[in-house]
Amino acid sequence: MAELAACPKEQLREREDAFHIQRVERLWSGGHLLRGREPGSGDLQLMSNDYLCIQNEPALREAQAEALLNSKTDLLMSSVFTMKGSPMQQLEAAFADYMQGEEAIICQSGFTANVGLLQSIASPSVPVYLDMNAHASLWEGVKAAGARGIPFRHNSPDHAERLIRRYGPGVLVVDTVYSTDGSLCPLAAIVDVATRTGCVLVVDESHSLGTHGPGGAGLAVALGLADRIDFRTASLAKTFAGRAGLIVCSRRFKEYFRMESNPAIFSSGLLEHEYVWFLEALALIRRADDRRERLREVSDIVRWRLDELGFDVGGGTEQIIAIESGNEPDTLKMRDALQGSGVFGAVFCPPATPRNHCLVRLSVHSGLTDEELDTLTTRCADALKLLKEVMA
Instruction: Give 10-residue mean pLDDT values along the chain (392 residues).
Output: 69 91 89 90 96 96 93 76 82 97 96 97 97 97 97 98 98 97 97 98 98 98 98 98 97 94 89 94 98 98 97 94 94 95 95 91 98 98 91 75
Is 128 within a domain? Answer: yes
Supply the pLDDT for residue 89: 92
Burial class (CB in 10 A: 0-12, 13-18, 19+), 181: buried
Supply the pLDDT for residue 2: 53
Supply the pLDDT for residue 1: 44
- 247, 271, 286 - which closes a domain: 286
**Which residue from 389, 202, 378 is spatially nearest to 305, judged by alpha carbons?**
378
Task: Supply the CATH number for residue 307's domain.
Answer: 3.90.1150.10
Q: Are residues 35 and 64 in the same domain?
A: no
For residues 367 and 53, the answer to whether their CB atoms sit within 8 Å is yes
Q: Are residues 221 and 133 in the same domain?
A: yes
Q: Are residues 131 and 176 in the same domain?
A: yes
Angle at the Cα of 236 from the Cα atoms of 50 and 376, rounded to 5 degrees:
15
Q: Are residues 268 and 135 in the same domain?
A: yes
Q: Are residues 40 and 96 in the same domain?
A: no
User: What would you measure as the largest C-alpha separation in the chain, in angstroms?
Assistant: 74
**Which residue from 92, 98, 52 is spatially nearest to 221, judged by alpha carbons?**
98
Number of domains composing the chain = 2
Q: Are residues 109 and 47 in the same domain?
A: no
**Rounded distance, CA 350 to CA 82, Å?**
39
For residues 79 and 217, the answer to whether their CB atoms sit within 8 Å is no
Supply the pLDDT for residue 4: 56
Supply the pLDDT for residue 78: 80
Q: What is the pTM of this model?
A: 0.93
Q: Are residues 368 and 239 in the same domain?
A: no
For residues 32 and 24, the answer to whether their CB atoms sit within 8 Å is yes
- 286, 318, 340 - which closes a domain: 286
pLDDT tens profile 114-147: 999 999 999 999 999 999 999 999 999 999 999 9
pLDDT tens profile 164-176: 999 999 999 999 9
- Residue 226: which residues within 8 A CB-CB, separation 6 or more? 99, 100, 101, 220, 232
